Amino acid sequence: MKIYIYARVSTKKQADRGLSIDAQVENAINMARMSHQREPDGVFIDMGVSGSVELAERPEGGQLFNIADDGDVIIAVKLDRLFRDTVDGLLTANELVLDRGVQIITGDFGELDIHSPMRKFLFTQALAMAEFERAKAVERTQDVKRKQSRSGAYCGGYVPIGKEVIEQDGKRMLVDDEDAEHMLQIMTDLRQIRGLSYRAIEHAMLEEHGYTVSYKTVERQLKARGIE
C-alpha cells in the first residue's frame, strides 16, 4: 500500500486565501498520520494548473492517476483540488475507487466510499456544491470586472503603447502615456531608416533607448500605421 498526497493551486489569490501548496501538503500529511499512522510515500503538486483540467490530464495529477493501484491511498484537502466538476469527479472516482480499489480521502468529505447508493448520492451532492461555488466565484469576478470597466478602471491584461496604468481615486486607470509618440517615432526610424527587423527593434528599444516593448507590439503598432 502506498499513500500519496495531492495538492494544486491555479492562482496566487488561492494561495492568499489559505489554499497555498504548503498549507495543503501540511494538512494532507496530518490527515495521513491520523488515518493511517504513517508518513506519505509521495507528494504530487500541480502549480498554476486550472481546476478546469481533468486530474488525468494534469502534469502531476496525471502521473498520480496512472500509478495509483489497488490498496493505495490518495489524500487531498478538498474535493475541488482533485476534480474538475461533478462529471469528472464521478468518472475519476469510478475508475480509481471502484475499478482499481484505490482509497481517496479529502478533508471536506472524508473517505470516498461510493460502493453504496447513499454514499454515492452524498458524493455527487458534494461535487455539485463545489462546482456551484466555483461557478458563483467566476460570476462574481466577472461582475466586478464589468463594473470596473464601466467606471474606466483598468482590469488587467495588455497595456497598449500610448497608454499607461496609474492610481487615481483608489482605482487603477488606463490613461494616455506622454512618451507614446516619442516611442513610436523611434520605432518608425529604426524600421524605415535603419531597416531593422521587429526583433532587432525590440532589442534596440531596450539597449539604446531604455524602453521595454515586445517585438509583437512593435510589429502591431507599425503595421497599424501602414509601416511594413
Just list the catalytic residues.
10
Provide the sign of the torsion angle of the four alpha carbons 92, 52, 75, 1, taken in this order.
positive
> How wide is the angle at C-alpha 102 spanned by C-alphas 98 and 106, nearest 5°?
105
Residue 121 corresponds to which cell in the numbers above? Answer: 448520492
Bridge partner list, 9: 47
Cell digits of residue 222: 507599425
CB contact set of 14 (below 8 Å; sequence gap of 6+): 20
Closest alpha carbon to 19 in 137, 117, 122, 111: 137
Beta-bridge mates of residue 103: 73
